[in-house]
Amino acid sequence: MPKIVNALGGVMVGQAKQDADQRCKVFVYGTLKRGFANHYFLRNAHFFGMAKTVKMYGLYVDEFPSVYAWDAVSPIRGEVYDIDMLTLRCLDGVEGHPRFSRREEIEVLLDSGQLLWVWFYFYPQRGKRLISNGEFNLSTGLAQEMD
């Protein structure tokens, strides 16, 4: 059975708790990923691995990629990073949490098979175009810009 680790590094399920070194895990699925302009905000982060969400959600593209929690379309594919609290606060600003998006703790499955609790940003409405396979990449991003 896989070990379950919460977003803030402690071995537990559920509500996030800060550990002694004040680090946490965050899952990114859009322009914060490697190869995109906003990845700059993760310059001090440690790449932890590729993963997909355990639950299914709706990934949409409008002016930017966003996940709508109430559409069970597909698992969302992305990258997990180990970050400090300063970076988390910075990402909250980039993502507009809590006014524009909301950050929640969800469970993801790393490609290595480990289950992990991470921070994840949800948006309150659907974007214009659904990405049905749940993975935002250069081709889906470029296709959106050309529409």
Which domains, and CATH codes, for the chain?
Answer: 4-13+23-146 (3.10.490.10)
Note the pLDDT tens digit of each residue in 48-100.
Answer: 999 999 999 999 999 999 999 999 999 999 999 999 999 999 999 999 999 99
Q: What was the pLDDT predicted at 21?
A: 62
pLDDT above 90 covers what percent of the chain?
77
Please pick, among 95, 104, 105, 135, the residue that the annotation labels catalytic: 95
Q: What is the amino acid identity at position 114?
A: Q
Place of tokens 């071995």: 11
Contact 36, 95 (CB under 8 A): no
Q: Is the pLDDT of residue 8 over 80?
A: no
Reported pTM = 0.83
Q: What was the pLDDT predicted at 24?
A: 97
Q: Which residues pair with 120 in a beta bridge?
A: 104
Average pLDDT of the residues in 20-46: 93
14: left (phi over 0), alpha (psi -120 to 50) or beta: left
The CA distance from 134 to 7, in Å, is 21
Q: What was the pLDDT predicted at 22?
A: 86
Q: What was the pLDDT predicted at 146?
A: 33
Please list, in sequence order, all residues whose beta carbon lies within 8 angstroms of the beta carbon of residue 141, skipping any fewer than 6 positions away: 31, 36, 61, 65
Q: What was the pLDDT predicted at 138?
A: 81
pLDDT above 70 covers what percent of the chain?
81
Is-catalytic flag, 95?
A: yes
